[in-house]
Amino acid sequence: MKTAAAALAIAVAACGGGRAVQVTRTSSEDPLVRLGRLETPEFIEIQEVRALGDGGIAMCTAVQGLYIVAVDASGAMSIHLQLASRHGHERFPRCQHLAIDGDRAYITSRGDEVQPAFVAVFDLAGEPRELAKLPITGAFEGITARDGRVYVARHGDGVAILERDGDEHRVLGTVDGLVNAWGVELVGEHLLVADGEAGVAIVSVADPRAPRIEKTIPLDGSARGVAVRGDHAYVAAGAGGVVVLDVSDPAAARFVTQIATPTSVQQVSTTASHLYAAAWGEVRVLDIADPAAPRLVASERLASDAPFTRVLGVAAIDDIAFVGEWSGLFAYRLHPERIAPEIRVDEDTIELGAVDVGQRRVYTVMVENEGRAPLSVRSVTASSPFRIDGLPETILAGSAVAVHVTYVADHDRQVTGRLVIETDDPDESTLAIPIHANREGLAVGQPAPPLDILLLDGTRLDSADLAGRPVLLAYFATF
């Protein structure tokens, strides 16, 4: 047998276009600094985070109900209340979305195979107690409440409008004609509805018994939620990033701008000058002093001990962001005056797939500087016996370079290594990316194995019958 040998070459080419600029660095520290983590179990599944009027934080979790969190000026957090609805699962009480109206707290559960669908109401005056759930049915998402009226998003069933009467609630009306209502927010006598792929619907609720859609603003992406600050609304648009609307006259609301993001934005929160976006695996901060031209001032990818990282919720109070990651609540302080670089590589691993003997395989990795100052590259190395051709010494702010990973094999066994990039990024100075080729099992580019599947209707599916036809495989969890 031949002695195992392989060659891995990494070539670098500058990527044209973009927003590359030369900025003088002002700090060796990151503009977004982690302050701490709330002490909770990691099996918590945070869904949404909201700032309360008293300076506290409320957060919904998928398996432990509603948390009311006290915070101080330093960002230190402590649990004030934990509330679970008796209508939820006994072991895993859900809180999907929440709204606070005076001494009432409302939480939703969209429902699934484990969790029932409900909207629960808690009286927070004195000793907290749960009241009856709202008298509506459906799959529930976002919710808002003001002055005794409650607005509940129900996907294709539109939005239900209810009115509080003592401890009870009665249905006043329903907003029909929506596509996929996810989030709701009030602006005067208008309701802004994040209507999924349909965009944002502007609904007059001056007469809650006869609400009417006045206009719909189509967007790229899928509208999930809305936050209003002054004359502008900021929409979490999923893969479409963040959308800004002018709502100074809600009936004549108009599109202002859209900010693309590399990850899917699930919730946004605003302060007087900044927007914080919960963007799946990270939190992103935009300067919105000029709402028509938001600019990125900080981004932070969160690490989790779980197999994946999900950032679904964020709430900001002054210069502190409370970030709801799947497994915990984290506090970060923003220092917008700090000008520093920020490395970004979206790949967690470099997968070269199956490489036959003598075959050459190329994989391209984009290395970006999302910061506002040039990024200095100190070294680029890889595990022996791989050969490395380094990155350029500097990556300008807002620019990216393409790293082409080339592997030529003279055997068919598994090869594993690491690409290590060391820079002057203040809080991520060493970035290590695993490299894999010829992994055991089915690899990218190999034909699928024969499958003979018994379908739910009792018929059988033979994968041979699908040869030459496009096939979509959908993987999902039923919880």
| Assigned fold of 32-334 | Methylamine Dehydrogenase; Chain H (2.130.10)
pLDDT of residue 442: 78
Q: Tell me how many degrees the CA angle 71-74-76 measures, rounded to the nearest 5.
A: 45
Paired tokens of 419: 């690409």
pLDDT digits (tens, 9 = 90+) for 458-470: 999 998 888 888 8
Paired tokens of 374: 């040039």
List every span in the chain annotated with CATH 2.130.10.10.
32-334
Determine the Cα–Cα distance for residues 106 and 123; give it in Å rounded to an integer.
9
Determine the Cα–Cα distance for residues 109 and 56; give it in Å rounded to an integer.
23
pLDDT of residue 306: 59
**CA distances in angstroms from 141 to 58, 108, 161, 223, 303, listed in the order given:** 16, 6, 14, 12, 27
Residue 260 phi/psi, 5° resolution?
Answer: -70, 145
pLDDT of residue 375: 96
List every span in the chain annotated with CATH 2.60.40.10.
6-24+343-437
pLDDT digits (tens, 9 = 90+) for 391-401: 789 999 999 99
Full DSSP string of 162-197 = EEEETTEEEEEEEE-S-S-B-EEEEETTEEEEE-BT
Q: In the predicted model, is pLDDT for residue 389 greater than 90?
A: no
User: What pLDDT band is residue 10 in, cutting at 50, 70 and 90?
Assistant: very low
Out of 3.30.429.10, 3.30.365.10, 2.60.40.10, 3.40.640.10, which CATH number does the structure's domain 6-24+343-437 have? 2.60.40.10
pLDDT of residue 390: 66
pLDDT digits (tens, 9 = 90+) for 358-387: 999 888 889 999 999 999 999 888 887 777
Q: In the predicted model, is pLDDT for residue 402 greater than 50?
A: yes
Residue of 144, 135, 155 lying closest to 98 (CA atoms): 144
pLDDT of residue 367: 93
**Mean pLDDT of the residues in the chain:** 90
- At 213, is the secondary structure helix, strand, or coil? strand
Residue of 66, 60, 64 lying closest to 46 (CA atoms): 60
